[in-house]
Amino acid sequence: MVTDDDCRWESKAADAAQEVGPMQAKGALARAMVRNFDAAFPATREPSPIVHALEDAVIPTPSEHDPELMAMLGAATSL
């Protein structure tokens, strides 16, 4: 396992056991952050206009895409 810690300390040998504790602590912190984020939302709320943003969207099929525009997009279209 390679971590950012390996890059900072050339003289210190990487030890997986030393990395697992901080990694687990960061995972616990992330889970707590998600729980707190979820708990901060009210049980009910006013609907946001963004909920309806795509209701009237027209999404063309791939055969309707502009070939010139698709060529300009290049790598982004190959994802």
pLDDT in tens, 3-62: 555 555 566 666 777 778 888 999 999 999 999 999 998 888 888 888 888 888 888 888
**pLDDT number for residue 78:** 61
The residue with tokens 């099929």 is 61
Position 69 pLDDT exceeds 80: yes
Cα torsion for 53, 58, 61, 64, to the nearest 10°?
-140
The residue with tokens 């010139």 is 68
CB neighbours of residue 8 within 10 Å: 8
Choose among 13, 11, 26, 25: nearest CA to 1.
Answer: 13
Domains in the chain: how many in total?
1
**pLDDT number for residue 34:** 95
Position 66 pLDDT exceeds 60: yes
- CA angle, 12 then 14 then 16, to 5°: 145
Task: Tell me the residue range of the domain where 50 lies.
Answer: 4-78
**pLDDT number for residue 1:** 47
